[in-house]
Homo-oligomer: A and B are copies of this chain.
Amino acid sequence: MWRREDTLPIKIGNIVIGGGNPVAVQSMTNTRTEDVPATVSQIKRLEKAGCELVRVAVPTKDSALKLGEIKKSISIPLIADLHFDLSLGFIALEMGVDKIRINPGTVPNRQILKDLVLEAKARNVPIRVGVNKGSLPDSYSKDREGLVKCALDYVKLIEDWGYTNLVVSIKSSDPEETVNANVLLASYVRYPISLGVTEAGGGWRGIVKSSIGLALALKEGIGDTVRVSLTGDPVMEVKVAYEVLRSLNLRRRGVNLIACPTCGRCQVDLESYYQEVESALENITVPIDVAVMGCSVNGPGEARLADCGVAFGKDKAVFFIKGNIIGTFSPREAIKKLISYVKEAERYKDENVTAFLLSTEGDA
């Protein structure tokens, strides 16, 4: 089986995926692509959240013609998502997109696909062969084998036309089927795999399905780039992707929040403190473990093990940095100190915030 370390490196704009490079986080806009300001603004929000590759739908000639303007205004590689009308792919390539995605289920005929592949080859722009169960051509069985066979057939077709600058994906709305199909796929192809559970739904439902599908495949060494699909704001897709990668110790970015579920033992409104901390630290990028704990059972232990933490008692809170007790404060004061500590850590962009630690000790 070809694992992440063994896949071929493929360059997409300024990012290389595959070949053991860090698993790249991608997302897709849900604005009308024709609306350049809205699309660029959403991509900038995605970039800020850590998105490393962005895909946009290209359903119309107007949307294809806007890709150049979009590309000029953003910093991450731009991917054109093509279905049905592949003639738009030529415009997308002309506009300088960094990758194109084709779907075997929406290719109108092989001649136009071949022409597009040769154009991409001439420009050395990578192509993703992206198979989705919801649009699998009728000639394939609607199961793992059918999904894999479809991907392999189209990869072979493109290879036969002399192009190997490829990425492959197989997505199902069933997390287990997605994992099983990708494991089988990885036994056949050495191209980087773009991993995701499709049509996962929104909110908690989609987060569960995506987390499980991604984690089970990534744990097998499969997946060079990931996309979490959620009904709603795509910024959440990026946040969830990083949380998945952090949970598997594959990437670390931003705050890892450790907080108890609360129980009848908790004597503060922990949920509101939790939300305050989460919201204050939303844009932190430095990897840091932050504990917000409600009682004396696991509170002091978790707060001590984290980079920084607060363990609440009744009307008071102990603030820890790197396992050391900084002092006992009012809940409000402790939360304030926690937040400013993390912001200092972000400012120094490393975890050496001794100066701040010393300046804080005096207040205890």
Contacts and interface: CB of A to CB of B under 8 A. Distances in A.
Contact of A231 (B106, B270, B298): B270
9 contacts: A33-B264, A133-B301, A134-B300, A135-B298, A176-B249, A199-B261, A206-B261, A208-B240, A216-B219
A103 B206 CA distance: 34
Contacts of A230: 261
A298 B134 contact: yes
A34 B264 CA distance: 8
Contacts of A293: 134, 199
A151 interface: no
Contact of A135 (B59, B244, B259, B297): B297
A43 to B, nearest CB: 12
Contact of A57 (B244, B265, B274, B301): B265
A278 B202 contact: yes
A215 B211 contact: yes
Interface stretch (A13-21, A23-31, A324-332): A23-31
A226 interface: no
Given A212-B247, A212-B248, A243-B205, A81 B263 contact: yes
Given A30-B263, A230-B261, A298-B135, A208 B211 contact: yes
Contacts of A270: 231
A263 B29 contact: yes
Nearest to A232: B271
A305 B274 contact: no
A297 B103 contact: yes
Q: How large is the interface on A (under 10, 10 to 19, 20 to 34, 35 or more residues)?
A: 35 or more
A197 to B, nearest CB: 9
Nearest to A138: B301
A136 B298 CA distance: 9
Interface string A220-255: 000000000111101011011001100111000000
Contacts of A299: 134
Nearest to A106: B297
Contact of A266 (B30, B174, B259): B30
Contacts of A215: 211-212, 215-216
A299 B296 CA distance: 51
